[in-house]
Structure formats: structure tokens, C-alpha cells
Structure 1
Amino acid sequence: MRTVALISGGKDSCFNMLQCIAAGHEIVALANLHPPLSYNESEILTVDEMDSYMYQTVGHDAIDLYSEATGLPLYREAIRGTSLQQGSDYIHENHDDEVEDLYRLLSHVKEMETIEAVSVGAILSNYQRVRVENVCNRLGLTTLSYLWQRDQEELLEEMIMSGMNSILIKVAALGLDPKKHLGKSLQHCQNELLELKAKFGLNVCGEGGEYETLTLDCPLFKKTIVVIESEVIPHSKDPFAPVAYLKFPKLSLADKDSTVSSDVKPITKPEDFCRYELASCCFDETSQEISSRFEFEKAETISFIGSSITNTGIIFIGGIIANSETDLTMMMNTLRGITENHGSSMKALLSVCLYIRDMADYLQINNIYSKYFDLNPPTRVCVQAPIKCYAMIEAIATLSVDRKRSMHVQSISHWAPANIGPYSQCVQVGDVFMISGQIGLIPGSMTLPNPANFVAECRLALRHAARVLSAMDTEISLKHAVQVVCFVRNEVHITLAQATWREYGGNVDQPIAFVVVCNLPKNALVEWQIWAHRAQGSTEKLTAIVSPSKQVGNIYVTKCEKLTALMCQLMDIPNNTNEWTTLNERLAKHLGQNHALRIFYKNNNVYTTTRAIFSLITHHFFLNLACALSVHERNGQFHRPSGMLRNPTQYV
């Protein structure tokens, strides 16, 4: 994509430009926000270091040289606003906020240049990322933030080995001395930064404001910046952590040496960040045969609209369908109406499962769906199922919206796939974390492995899930999963999925089920839906009950005072109502009243059976008959995908 790079002169913004180029993007312009100018009778004055939550301003006097150094046009605007909205979210409602200065700058660049994306050097700052994403979304631009959530020691090493020459121009941390460290290169200071991390917990890339840098040279530069004259400006004379920065009265440009040092390493590409996941030798030659080997029969959709509210304040919603494209708006309005009937709104939604008849309709459905969400949308899983209706929704909402915490990263990075669509990576309520369906995309390129490779996709998807959980809470991992659904397109892949789950720290005793579906987004081979529970520090006591029953399948129950998850994996749906009575009694015993029950069934003849048992089990549970996964005999082979019966996680 044609990209404008937001630059401060620091190492992060410059290195992210190199990452953009390695990912196949083209840097076509530079953009910078500088401190405002003021005037007295004899001269123009500038503030070198502003107290800005968003922008690095120290070193701004070197930025004008970047245009000639890179051979790219440079667009600059003054910072006029201040940090008015300091919360975790940003809504563009005040033109005097400093974020709106960025909007004006990028709007001007877009008028002058053909651009599609914006390069941003954010590493850990959610504050900065959220605001840049807000501006880019309003302008129809993609955010490229390849340093996001990178390991700082690894990143610092890559910056140094890339051929970048960045010097420290501000220090503000215990152990960093203005007299000793200002003007020194990152390479010169690297070992000391690592020592200070060990002693005092310093962020080695300066993400805590410990230091700031100016990049004098990098592989993108055609000329190098030379410091002719510099001046140390004290900012704080703290005896333990004095703060000072460099001002540059005189700088110049010099021609670069055409030789490249043997120490310089090539910039890593998106696939290089997935070497282990892509290293699988079992390339999936059968993946191309899925459509011909499996032919799903479309099953009757048992349609009813219902919702059940528990005494914990959780709303279970199911049975909302659209019979055609024209019904999509009505389907979403029905969902909104149910939340409003419970005295809430669409902001109360935590998780949505969207079943569609044909993945070719995904974009159209997504366009309608996205109109109903703004900030912090619910998580979502989307699969193509053999349903006769056009689309179907089930959802979970909360009456306590203030307890909802979301992660919605829309920037493309090497961390995990960007959720540019209307769904969050993860939503947390209390001690429960719900992750959106994860497929095996290479995050930096947002593409699936080519050629198709089930193990690679499976590993990538689980890596994404683990990273999302860790970003929400560093103490949470896949071993804390309390409910897992693995959607696959081929039953033969279930064994591989089970092995990969164990490889990534999952426990075979966790409630996990495998569902064979017709298709997945982007024609992926696997999609993982995972909910986790934070047990450490929680007052909730968690126990697991496993009941292998040949009559009704394996029942896995995970239960605590505030959290209940049920999953039954059934190879065959029982046709005998006596078996359903037994199942009903067991579920009621372990789960009590008012729990949701979601059934994935696979044979059309279960339609009559489920109608018969509907009145039986809804006495204790809200029933959501999700979809039929039904295949028939073809070419002398009978392929039977797994069915699944489960209850969505409940919590307060």
C-alpha cells in the first residue's frame, strides 16, 4: 500500500518504515507534528519539549532535513491542541484535542498524495494506538504498526543490526546520566540499557519515557544527518534521575558511504516472524479436495427467537435469523431490540456467533453488521453452516456494561491479526475472557499460509489466541481455557488439532469440542473460539467433572460459584427421549436453573427428535439450536463430522 510515515525523528518511527517496506508497502511521504511557534519583537520562538501524551517533540529541529535525507516529500503541522480526552477510548468530539491536529495533518497529506496507509511506531502505548486508529478510520486509511507488542530486547537488537544510527537526545530515568548518555548511539548504550532493565526494570526501548532518540541514518536514507553543534538543555535537576535533552543549533547532510557493513542484517519480513509455525513439513494436499469429498446437506433451521436472563446478569440470546439478504437489517434490529428490552443496548453484547449459509455473502453481511457497532464491539466467530436460512445469530450480553473491558486492535502488526472489522480481539467481564474466532493468518500480511497447511494454520491461530490473552492479562494462557470450540472443514484434521492444542499448552481435560463446518472466513482450514477464566486471585472455586456416557456422549462440566461452562461432544444425538431425560437431569444437577444450551447437530432426523425434547429440556435451560452439520454418502464413503452440544460460559 502507498504509505505516509508519521515521523518524530526517533528510532521507532524510522524502524517501522523499514518494516513497512519489508512487508511490501511503499513509503511515499513523511508527516510530522511540531511544537507551536510564538513570536517576540525580534525572533520566532519554539517550545522544544511539550508535555504531550501523543507526540515526541524533542529533536523537532532536525525534522526538516528528513525530506532531503530520504528524497520524500515532508508535510508538517503545528500542534495546537492539548490532551483533553485522556481515557482509554477516543471520540472525536472536541476540535481542541491534540488528536485533531493529527487528523488535520493527515487530511492535508491525503489531499496532496495518493495514500492508503499510515506508518506508526507505537510499541506498547494503547493511548497512542487507539487515537491514531481513530484518525485513520475516519480518513479510510489502514494503520501499519509493525512494532506493536514486540519484545523490547529483541526489537532493540534488530534496530541496531539493521544499519540504523540513532542517538539518545533525552534522558529521564534512574541510571541514565545526561553528561554520560546524551548524544551516544543506541549501539553504544545497549549493554547499559539491558543492565538498567535488570536493576530497575527500565524499558530498554524507552517505552516508559526513559529516553528518546534521533535517527541520523538508516537504510532508507539517501544522505546521513550530521550533528555540527548541540546543546544540553536541563529540564529537571532531580538528584537521582535528572532530566535533560539536546537541542541542535546546527545540523547538516552528508553523502552516504555506498558500502554496507557486514554486520548489517536484512530486515525481517512478515513470514519471518512465523518461522516456527510455518515450519511444518506436513503440507496439506487434501485441503483442495474438501469441497469435492464433503457435500453437506442443508438442514431445516429450527427457528425461534428467545432470550434468557440469569440471576448473574447475563443475557443469552438465540434463534435470530435472516431468510434473505433483505432481512439482515431486521435480524440486527431484532438483536438490538432484545438488548433494549432488557434495559440495555448493543454495547452490552459480549460475544456473537454468526452462522451464514454461504461465505460468499460475508462482505455484504459484514457491511450491515458493522453499522450497529462503534467502540468496543463484541467478540465474534463466523462460520458457514449448512442452514437453509441466509444467516443466523446467537449472542451473549451483560446487564453490567461497566464491567466490560475490550481489546480492539485495528493496526496491522506482527503481533496478531488486526481486527479491522466490527469485532474485538477479546472481551473481559470479571474473571472471564472471551476471544474472537482465530484463524491462521500471518499477521504482518493478513494472509493465510500458501500453500495451504493445516498444522501451520492451527499453530498460528493458537499463537494468536495466546498472545491476545497475554495482552489482556500477563498471567493468563491457554491452560486457563474453560471452553474451547475448534471449527474445522475436514474431520481428518481433528487429530492434528488435538495435538496442536496440547503443543500450545492446552490441557486435554479442558472442555473442548470439534465441529466440522462447510467453510470458514478466507477459506481457512481451522478456526478456534476460546474462553478463559482467571483463577489466580479469584474467589471462584473451579472444579471439573467428566462423565463418559456412551448413551449421551462425553459430558465435561466446569463449574464454580460465578462461572459455569458445559460442553458435551456427541457422536450421535440420542433419539430416545429417555436418554434426553437422563441428560437433562444430569445437567440440571450440575448447572442448576436458567442456563443456555446450544446444540450443534448433524443429522436431519434429529429435527423431529429435538422438537420432541424441546419442551423437556427448556424447563431448565434456554435452548439455542444452532445448526445442522449433515453429510451424506458420496463415492462409496461416508464421512461423519463430529457433533457438539454445549452450554456457553456463564458468569457474573
Structure 2
Amino acid sequence: MIDCQVHAIIIKVAALGLMPDRHLGKSLKEMQPHLLLMRDKYGLNVCGEGGEYETFTLDCPLFRSRIVVDDVQTVISSADPVCPVGYLNFTKLRLVAKERIEPVVIKNSLDFIHDLNESSYSDLSDPDLSETELELIERSSCGMVAGGIGVSRGSVMRNSFSKDDLSGTAGATAVVLSRSNSITKELTICATLEPAPYSKSPVRIITKARSSISASGECGPTSSDGPMEVLPPFHCSRESRPLSNRPRAIVNSKGWMWVAGVQGCGEDSRQAMASALTTLEEMVQSRSFTLRQICYITLYVRNMGEYSFINEIYSTVFAFANPPTRVCVECPLPADCAVVLEAVAFNPVSSGKL
């Protein structure tokens, strides 16, 4: 956030090493050294992922106006001498237009891939190659591109070279590119260098030249003027087999029960939800538990658009005070399964294991 010029201030503290009277209202840039110190001293999460602090963003490059705090109140919700808790209550805010707004370039995922430098992947290089040999590969690759000769993308990746490849030169009509961990020499790929005008295109066409392997193990194109063979398209096949499901439950000696794999099947989401809740109730009662002793439920649904129908049936079963907490998540369930339930219950008088 600091590197991206996000101006955020601390508006709540609730951790050892953070004091409301000292740290509330300070920016993250001001707090960074102290947060790092508290991490080493008390194990504080510098990013506040454990709820150590909360922030409020006043300005960032995406904002057309910045937020100015004119009046604020400090509220101490816990005056604990070791770990006090406090927060800021903004009573008056205003927007101030920025005088000069610099254009912000928002990148997509492909832009980040384009910005990657192959030097970032030095740890993926062949460990047998020395720094001098790696530099030679880089210079050769850069020289081929600068000279108007297009190469396939695989020929400029560091992890695509081995010691045997260093004998190739940039002026040759073909460069032998072999994987450093190739199993046999016959698997060596010969990449044909395409002269201009094809090199002017930003898109490199990867082709495979017809090659012959001599007794010495070297390969080369059989004909420099012959047509190039285009690589066949990549085909992917997928296999699947149905797995039988059986809901399971386990109870420990301390009275906790975990229920998993409760599927709801039916013609529609209402019937599926009713079926799942019936199965859950039967499993709970067979182990001397009740629905009121369920602490929380995880509900997986195939289509969140049918949540209202699912919740309608769910509300009729848990129609009592203090129902269990619930998490509802949409996920790609099979076509014949609209709902999957998981639950955790507690009964201090129960014991045993199933």
C-alpha cells in the first residue's frame, strides 16, 4: 500500500504494542517502523491480518479527490493497561479536489506477464551453467532479436538451455535447443529461425523443422528451403467416474460432533434442501444430539441464484432462538446434487466414536 502511494491512517488499535493515544490517526508510512518492531517483539502481524489494527484510506492514485478530516473523536472501548482498545470516530469530513490528476494505468493479467524479465527466473536455470555461460546465452538471444531474426519463445528461456547448446552461434540457420534434463538425445527440439519479414510480427509462430540425427548426436534441418511442418494442435481429454457418497459423523469424548457429506438431491432446490436437512436431523438424533446443539453449519449450494428457495426451507427447520451460525458458499456441485451440508455440534454429556 505504501509503495502504491495509498495514504491510509490507523483508525482502530487492539493489540499489544499499539496505544490509542499514540498511534491513532498516524499513516501506515509513519507506523511501518513501529509495526516491524512490534512484530519482532510481540509477534504482531504487520498487515493487521489478526485484527491488530484497522485503517481508513484518505487518498490514493485512483481518487479524484482526497478526504480531509476536520474533526475526530477518540473513543477508548477498553482501558486495559496491557492491551488497550480504541478507535477514531469521524465527526466531520470533506472532499478536496486534486489540482493535478496524473493518469493511472490499470494493468490486466497479460500486462504483468509482459513485464516479467527473464532474469527473474535465474533460479530455474540449469545449475551446471556458470554465470559467464548464462551471459553468453543472453547476449546471443538479444543479438538474434536485434538482428531481425525471429526466434521461438522457447529459445530465449534460460531453463531451455544446457551446456551442449553453447556451441550454437547466432548466425546459424538453426539453433539446437535441448532441455537440460532431457531423457534422450532424440527428444531434442530444433527451432527454425525465421528471417524477415516474419520477424517484424509481434507474434512468434512456433514451428518444428524436419530434422535428421547423425551418428554424433547432432540434429539439423534436412532442407532449408523446404516447407515447415506446423505443430499439431494440443488435445486434452478428461476422464471421470462417479464416487459413491455416504454421510459421516464422528463424536469425540469431549462431546463434539462433526457431520460431513450430507447431500441434498431432488427435483428442485427446495426438495434438495429438505432432503439434506432430514438426513442431518436423523444423524444428529441417532447420536443423542438435537438441532439446537448444532453450533454452526457450512452450506454448499450449486446455484446461489436459488438461495431464497433454499433459505426458505432452512428457516422452517431452524425456527428457534439462537440458531447455528451459517456459511453459504456456491461451488460447482454435480448435476444431481444441489446442496451439501457440513455441521459441528456440541453436547457435553455425549461421548463415543462412530
Range into which the TM-score falls when normalised by the shorter chain: 0.3 to 0.5
Calculate the TM-score normalised by the size of structure 2: 0.36
| Larger Rg belongs to | 2
Calculate the TM-score normalised by the size of structure 1: 0.22
